A and B are shown apart, each in its own frame.
Chain A
Amino acid sequence: MVVERFPDFFQWIGPGSLLFLAILVAAILLGLFVGYVVAVFRHGPFEAFYVVAQVIGDAIPDFLGMSLRRLVAIARLTAKEALRRRVLLVTFAIFAAMLLFGGWFLNSSSEHPDRIYVNFVMWGTQMLVLLMGMLVSAFSLPEDIKNKTIYTVVTKPVRSSEVVLGRIMGLGAVCTALLALMAVISFFFVWRGLSHEHQLVGDTQTLSSFVEVDQGSRKSRFSGRRVSENAVMEAQTTQDSGHSHRLELVEDIRDADSPPLVASNVVDSEKLPNGRVKYRRVVCHPIGGHTHPVTVDGEGKDARIQLGSSVGYFRARVPVYADSLRFRDRAGDMKDRGTNVGNEWGYRGYIDGGSSGIQSSLARGLFRFSGLRESLFRRTEVIPLDMSLSVFRTYKANVEKRVMAGLEFESVPDNPEVDNRFVSDMITFETNEYTLQTLPIPRKLVGKLLAPDGSIVGQGEYDLFDDYAKNGNLLLSLSCRDPGQFLGVARADVYFRAGDTLYWLNFFKGYLGIWCQLMIIIAMGVAFSTFLNTPVTMLGIVVMAILGFYSGFVRELTLPDTDGGGPIESFVRVITQQNMQVSLETGVLTTAMEQIDKLLVWLLAGLTYLAPDFSQLDFSDFLTYGYSIDPQRLIVAMVITAAFVVGLTILGYFALKTREIAK
């Protein structure tokens, strides 16, 4: 999952409000201009001035005179009206059908069934709900005007702003209720679809179904993969939900006074002559991010082995990301970007593993953390470090052999010329390509204390929080230990996992994102329908939504010096079959075309600022990949939504105020 750099709320709100104000001022100026032009046609240039002035003069008392009772009355009526329309019922029926039959087509035997399930329900809900929001809002006001029921409303002391905002509130309320219902059902759908159990393959559910591990090759008799170092026996589970797990009987030797790692899966224990204890435990190997807890009932060979329901699918990891990632090249020089390995996705930078001639490459990926505190972490004895590393191989050799990587931790002293710094010994590990791997980092790390001149002051075990990251800053340096190979990383690929938040809470946070999108769509529908008819309103919403979903792409199109020019030039190039890079013949026509293009591109760029950036309101990736949604993001999404609702209410107010309700 790509996590962009995301500033916190307080960093965002300043420039965000400025942008909002700028858009507001631009919209007001544009509105004044359009209003004046329309008034000139109706009343002539001189009187138009008074008409516009009066509309603006009325606006402030109208907004100040808004009453909560009227707003609620209109909202309630709108909600009742919307409930009577079949749209909500139909939406819910489609949603129900989607879940009933969609389950058949979801491949639960895939590597990550949780991603497929979550993606399916979120995408389905989002599309359905947004479509529903568009339909109910685009029909609401025009129907009221068509049926003339609005006559009896606007002839009461009801402000136009109340009509618009009341409608947004009413439609928002019913749609929110439906969305909440869909979220709850989705949650149970995902939960039910993913939870499953397995049985042991064999005559009995005991150790007698296990077979000895081939001590020569140490490869599994079932999967052909290497077994764990301390495994002595193995077994297989039944095929359920499209997969089966491998069970291993492992031997742990521990001090007499320390308990086994997990107590529930111990089959038997044996006291060794040296006073330590050997525990034999049954463990289940995870597949696709989930495993099953093993409980052993009884002791010894006849002990009954039971596998519980799946765990690990429903995760909401709280990551602690590095602030920055920089690189050192093979010679040890600092670089902003990693080594370029050719035609690869530019998102990741690569760390050179050196060549066989120079064994110890100085290339590193340097992750700099700040604000690292013990209080951030739920468990502090062992801190999980999650990594998704990609590997670029310059030679194949033994493909099954994984590329080795190394990790070192360094403190970042406030004053490097005076203060000593801690540098840990290198921790080497095998990389898991393509998949997320978790490396448990012990809190006490063996390392050295170095003076500013590089001389060793001390040596021993130092504490990660109290020594290495005493001032909250920590440097994590990642290196590739296999010569000739490269490790690819991006800033978000390596993070400390502070803990997990409640999955269901995260699930609903994800749906809050959909809610924000829904509210903006409804506000747009109501505001547009004050001056457009229903089909045009829907078209307007679709255009804005497309701009909103693809705002990044559209904004890229509006950048100056795009190959092939603006819309008209591109069209001319297409029909005259001219290459994008070839410059057009200079002349009046070309100049005119370029100027019109400039205007169109300018308008398009303007539109992208008016359209809501839905990517900031879309949290489905967080749920799909199992990350906790940062509350800061939620606050930002809420503020964006509120800004749109306010802006669109103002637009709707002026449009409704200046139009004739009767025909």
Chain B
Amino acid sequence: MGDSPPAPIPGDFFALLARHGSSPIPPGHANSLAPVETQATTVFGFHFADGAIIAGDRRATAGNVIVTDTIEKVIELDATSLLAIAGVPATAFEMARALQTSFEYFRRSQLQPLSLPARVRALSRALRDNLPLTLQGVGVVAPIFAGLDTTQSPPKPCLFFYDALGAQFQAVGFAASGSGANTVRSILGYQERFGNPRPSTLDRRAAVRLALQLLMIAAEFDSATGGVHPATQRYATLRLLTADGVENVPDAEQAAALEPSPAAP
């Protein structure tokens, strides 16, 4: 028997990249003089009546410097999955790009979409592969993943959150990550337990409104969270995952959601 390399896994884009020496996240070696990375964020997701809403502020910071207020932290991976990134953008965006290509590569080459458990594990594997940079404190990523469980009818949106080492957890009602996450988590926890109506029963307009208000509050307690500023037309990145797939919430709809409700007294 020869020492031939193992056969590649069909449809595995990472195996294809490895064969061509193009792995996106090779084990890195950062030194103690590594530059300050841009990070800090508030991203979160919660279930509402029609599905799940995933929100993210648009600020990137490096230390006390605001790098930009226009980045997109909620990324559409494919027609049925979303990734909200919190942590070091350099690593997180590359992870998102690798997953985007990986999911589409599998669907096209195998003529069927990747299952939800496999997608969840793919992100977990990407985080685990990033372990060296995570342990050195220069490449930490703690994302939220939303995907459609197509084994149910109608397809059911599911939320997952991860720790920086790649452990995955399914969120029952909501998930939050980033430096402003504690504020959001506290409010959503209270609302889901004692609120009336609870977030999981809200309609689309009310869910969008709650998401924007949560970002406003998070920004008040966390300088690294960009918040929402209707006066200057600066809104958040909001995406919905429903049984029909991913949908973007445009600025105009966000603005309208913050207007007083016609039914309000």
Q: Do chains A and B interact in one complex?
A: no
